[in-house]
């Protein structure tokens, strides 16, 4: 038996004569991964599987705090790898659940209601759905529990009504003047 494959790096056709050929079924991502990705605000790879926060430093974590990833949701892998990754995700969850209290990210966005015109630009750019517009008061609001302090809303605000705690424009200008 011979298997012919084209090596795109070498640009030649290779002939491999294996002792055994094992065919396996291809693994496709879940049909509802796109919907789950939008619901939980987590990224997908180009193949449609969920993407971890960092391949080496946080292999079972999503960028969103408290969400963990393992098994075939991540990518096609062997059962042993799935079990190892599931154990790692469980340990990450246990460390979070073992804490008596969870601290919120201190660096969150705020809104100056006198400057805000409720245009909704900040709502559109917020990847964490931490922004909404109060139509009665005509002002944007920040849900601090959801805000991750990324600053996208601050950068997008055309009126400068959005500020980030610890990084207000006055503070930044004072630091620049001190240099």
pLDDT confidence band for 5 (50 / 70 / 90): very high
Judged by phi (left if over 0) then psi (alpha if -120 to 50, else beta), residue 4 lies in: beta
Task: Name the token pair of 107.
Answer: 């660096």
159 beta partners: none
CATH class of the domain at 109-178? alpha beta
pLDDT at 150 over 60: yes
Delimit the domains of the chain by residue range.
29-97, 109-178
Pairwise CA distance, residues 135 & 153, whole Å: 18
Please report, rounded to a whole number, the percentage of residues in the chain having pLDDT higher than 90.
54
pLDDT in tens, 99-108: 888 776 578 8
What's the token pair of residue 10? Answer: 């070498």
Q: Which helix H or strand E contains 110, and what residues bound it?
A: strand 109-111
Average pLDDT, integer, range 108-126: 92
- Please report the pLDDT score of residue 105 as a whole number: 57
Q: What is the maximal distance between C-alpha atoms in the chain?
A: 77
Q: What is the pTM of this model?
A: 0.54
Q: What angle do CA 110, 116, 120 make, to 5 degrees?
A: 90
13 pLDDT higher than 70: yes
CA distances from 138 to 73, 77, 95, 117, 133 (A): 41, 50, 41, 6, 7
Report the distance separating Cα 132 and Cα 79, nearest Å. Answer: 43
| Residue 134 phi, psi dihedral angles, 5° rounding | -85, 105
Quick check: 143 and 128 in contact, CB under 8 A? Answer: no
What's the confidence (pLDDT) of residue 41?
Answer: 80
Retrieve residue 160's tokens.
Answer: 């400068």
Q: Given a cut of 70, is residue 2 above it in pLDDT?
A: yes
111: nearest Cα among 89, 133, 128, 92: 133
Q: What pLDDT is recorded for position 86?
A: 96
Task: Tokens for 24, please give them.
Answer: 């396996």
Higher pLDDT, 103 or 88: 88
Least confident of 7-21, 50-64, 93-107, 136-150: 93-107
- The pLDDT of residue 69 is above 90: yes
């Amino acid at each position: 038996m011979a298997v012919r494959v084209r090596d795109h790096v070498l640009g030649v056709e290779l002939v491999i004569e294996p002792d055994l050929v094992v065919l396996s079924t291809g693994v496709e991502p879940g049909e509802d991964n796109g919907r789950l990705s939008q619901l939980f605000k987590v990224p997908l790879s180009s193949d449609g599987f969920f993407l971890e926060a960092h391949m080496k430093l946080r292999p079972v974590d999503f960028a969103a705090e408290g969400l963990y990833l393992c098994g075939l949701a991540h990518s096609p892998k062997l059962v042993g790898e799935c079990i190892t990754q599931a154990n790692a995700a469980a340990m990450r969850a246990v460390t979070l659940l073992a804490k008596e209290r969870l601290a919120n990210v201190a660096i969150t966005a705020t809104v100056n209601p006198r400057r805000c015109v409720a245009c909704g630009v900040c709502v559109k750019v917020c990847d964490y759905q931490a922004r909404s517009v109060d139509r009665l008061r005509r002002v944007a609001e920040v849900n601090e529990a959801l805000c991750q302090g990324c600053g996208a809303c601050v950068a997008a605000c055309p009126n400068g009504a959005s500020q980030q705690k610890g990084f207000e424009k006055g503070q930044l200008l004072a630091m620049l003047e001190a240099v």
